Amino acid sequence: MSIRIERSASVIVCSNDSRRYHEEMVAGIYLQEIAEQFAKLGFEAILIGNAAAAIQGAPVTTIDIDFLFRDTPSNVAKLKKLAKSLDMEIFNPLYPASQMFRLMRDSDTLQLDFRVRIRGIRKYESLRSRATLVSFGDKQLLVASMADIIKSKRAAGRPKDLAVLVTLEEVYAKIQAREKAKAHQPKEAV
């Protein structure tokens, strides 16, 4: 399955080559469902990777939705409750060595990966300080900054990460140009 999340986060296109079909699903529904459950459980995690980049306008695909979270006993317990509330199975392949929990749902092949660490980012708190809150329905998710996504992918050095760097850097340059132009606009008088 591959997921394409468009800038508006309104469409995910999933393709499963083994079944030879394409189906469109609303990404906002998944992200809203996830945001609602995070809020309900008091669970905090930061959306990272290609899904976070796509929300910021990058034309990239992914097979999963990745998050970074603090590795505490309380958060691991909340992650287990999250899996149950989303009707997902939780796996921790090679944990603690892999420092990742994978949640999978058979009914629609949704896959969420929760990581304790990502390359290029030293602390959860520093990533959080640069993240942006993005609304999905009446709930919000923290989304990593494009600069941090680029930094992490460069540090990971995997071919699939390096392959999208030019695209991410182009989108980031546009984001910076927009922010610079916005900062130079005169303020309206009250």
**Token pair belonging to 131:** 């993240």
> What is the per-residue pLDDT for 37?
98
- Report whether 58 contacts 4 (CB < 8 A): no
| Every domain of the chain and the residues it spans | 28-183
Residues 65 and 113 sit within 8 Å (Cβ to Cβ):
yes
8 A C-beta contact, residue 68 and residue 48: yes
Residue 24 pLDDT: 39
Predicted confidence pLDDT, tens digits, the chain (190 residues) = 344 444 444 434 344 443 333 343 456 789 999 999 999 999 999 999 999 999 999 999 888 899 999 999 999 999 999 999 999 999 986 656 678 999 999 998 899 999 999 999 999 999 999 999 999 989 999 999 999 999 999 999 999 999 999 999 999 999 999 999 988 887 776 6
Q: Which CATH class is domain 28-183?
A: alpha beta
Closest CA to 147 of 129, 163, 160: 129
Give the predicted TM-score (pTM) of the model.
0.84
